[in-house]
Amino acid sequence: MHQEHLEPGERYDAVARTTRALLAVPKGEVEELARRCAVRGVAGVRGLVRLRDLMMPVWAEFAYELVFAERCPREARDLIAANADDVVTSLKCTGLRHMGRRDRLTRYLLPRLDRVRVPLPGGLTSLEQAYYLQGAFFNTAVVQLSEAMAHLLLVLAQHPGEQERARTSDDRHFDRVINETLRLYPLFGIAHRITSGDIALDEHTTIPAGSVLCFNYPEFHRTGFADPGRFDPARFDPGRCDRPAKELNHVPFGVAANRPCPAWRLAPIAMRAVAREVLGRYVLDSSVTHTRSLPSRGPCLLTPRGAAHRPRLALAYLRVRDRWEDVWRGLVQLVLGTYMVWDAHRKRLCERHFAEAASNPPDASDAEDRYAHPGHQPGARRSL
Ligand code: HEM
């Protein structure tokens, strides 16, 4: 049960309304909450870390407080972070999913539903409400923010000039750094929609209802930019853009007209606050390969500001370890990826979904929706 897996209709509307209500927090409060969580999460850390692992507990606490408006107990933080890590690790086929953890988190949430700071969607059972919270806030929010922060901090670790400029810059420049990071490393690979009506492209071509349309985020983000593989936040300077920002091929939070990310406003504010806290405390260095899927979880050296900064030996070690890990990780991904495809094929998820949809057609109020989502196929809309 996840917002993105719901077909258009009353249930989707109720769930989306609740998500918006939970995310509608004033900017100053988002910054303060994110900053507090970052201080607790990174204080005292130094040396070699994996950025995604460093960020998971920070965003687990952030999501908990966003939902319950109270400080996150350690037990909940560890459960949320471990479950989110499981989700993203298994999506990247670098490890197995532990369903017991997922169930423990659901059982943790169930008796606390009446403490959520906005009313939960009516018409859902308690279990569905717990699954909804778990899916949107303790899974998606934690995973996406941790991945995005790992990309942001890693790219700055590998561009020392940009790191220093970001640390001392105003918010407008920092937003360009985040924009450029999410342009180069969008969190989504291929997203898809299933057409729920015919779409006429021109007088000769019509895309029939029921077609699967794929959208390639990374490819879209590469077109229309000079030297698209280069990390260059200044490309978003109003003085350097030949087009208004709205016309650039840049949709890291999706397309406004069709189920964009409801956290498009909150996420960059929170990321900026956490990044400022990290950059204010540490100098970051890294020599690992930085790819969009980031299976390495972003190995990085953190040197406290004011301490001697001699990263050469650690960077040489990181480089060798990263190349070596790439070898066995590739093998694990091959085995688990093959199993995942085989298993999905065996369960015939699409076929079953469409058979169920045909026997339960959407009600008349849904008929206007041009696009539908592929229902309860776990992970069907998310692609990495
Ligand atoms: C930097 C962080 C994030 C990025 C880059 C991001 C990106 C995206 C994108 C691109 C989509 C649309 C995917 C598609 O085309 O199918 C999406 C959907 C979604 N995101 Fe995010 N996201 C982020 C953080 C969050 C957070 C913090 C939440 C917390 C609730 C969240 C909740 C959702 C939900 C519920 C959807 C599905 C919307 C729907 O189907 O109505 N995301 N996100």
pLDDT tens per residue across span 240-297:
877 777 789 999 999 998 899 999 999 999 999 999 999 999 999 999 999 999 999 9
Residue with tokens 């471990």: 82
Q: What is the structure's pLDDT at 26?
A: 98
The rounded percent of the chain whose pLDDT value lies above 90 is 81
Q: Is the CB of 253 under 6 A from ligand 1?
A: yes
**Cα Rg, the chain, nearest whole Å:** 21
- 316 C-alpha vs ligand 1 centroid, how far in Å? 36
Residue with tokens 């008796």: 111
Question: Residue 142 pLDDT > 80, yes or no?
Answer: yes
Q: What is the structure's pLDDT at 238?
A: 85
Beta partners for 47? Answer: 302
Q: Is the CB of 261 under 6 A from ligand 1?
A: yes
| Maximum distance among all Cα pairs of the chain, rounded to whole angstroms | 68
76 φ, ψ (degrees, to nearest 5): -70, -40
The rounded percent of the chain whose pLDDT value lies above 70 is 93
Q: Is the CB of 380 under 6 A from ligand 1?
A: no
Comparing C-alpha atoms, which of 42, 37, 55, 57 is closest to residue 278? 42
pTM: 0.92
Q: Which atom of ligand 1 is nearest to the CA of 255?
A: 15
Residue by residue, DSSP assigns 158-199 as T-HHHHHHHHHS-HHHHHHHHHHHHHHS-S-SEEEEEESS-E
- 161 C-alpha vs ligand 1 centroid, how far in Å? 30
Q: What is the structure's pLDDT at 57?
A: 98
Encoded tokens for 79:
């459960």
Q: Are 262 and 24 in contact (CB under 8 A)?
A: no
Residue nearest atom 29 of ligand 1, based on CA coordinates: 141
Q: What is the structure's pLDDT at 5?
A: 86
Q: What is the structure's pLDDT at 120?
A: 97
Dihedral class, residue 264 (left if φ above 0, else alpha if ψ from -120 to 50, else beta): alpha
Question: Residue 346 pLDDT > 60, yes or no?
Answer: yes
Which of 85-89, 201-205, 357-361 is least confident?
357-361
Q: What is the structure's pLDDT at 196?
A: 87
Q: Is the CB of 59 under 6 A from ligand 1?
A: no
Question: Residue 216 pLDDT > 80, yes or no?
Answer: yes
Mean of the pLDDT values across residues 79-93?
A: 95
What is the torsional sign of CA 122, 123, 126, 132?
A: negative
Q: Is the CB of 140 under 6 A from ligand 1?
A: yes
Testing ligand 1's pocket by substitution, the residue of 215, 220, 261 carrying the most ligand atoms inside 8 A of its CB is: 261
Residue nearest atom 43 of ligand 1, based on CA coordinates: 261
Question: Residue 302 pLDDT > 80, yes or no?
Answer: yes
Q: Is the CB of 6 under 6 A from ligand 1?
A: no
Question: Residue 368 pLDDT > 90, yes or no?
Answer: no
Q: What is the structure's pLDDT at 370?
A: 30
Mean of the pLDDT values across residues 223-239?
A: 92
- 38 C-alpha vs ligand 1 centroid, how far in Å? 21
Q: Is the CB of 267 under 6 A from ligand 1?
A: yes
Q: Is the CB of 145 under 6 A from ligand 1?
A: yes
Mean of the pLDDT values across residues 220-231?
A: 94
User: What is the tens place of the pLDDT at every residue in 162-183?
Assistant: 999 999 999 999 999 999 999 9
- 313 C-alpha vs ligand 1 centroid, how far in Å? 39
Which of 50-59, 68-77, 228-237, 366-375 is least confident?
366-375
**Alpha-carbon span 366 to 255, nearest angstrom:** 20
Residue with tokens 């939970």: 22
Q: What is the structure's pLDDT at 349?
A: 81
Encoded tokens for 94:
């670098």
- 140 C-alpha vs ligand 1 centroid, how far in Å? 7
Query: What does pLDDT average to over the chain?
Result: 91
Q: What is the structure's pLDDT at 361?
A: 60
Q: Are strands 371-372 and 190-195 parallel, antiparallel or unpaired?
A: antiparallel
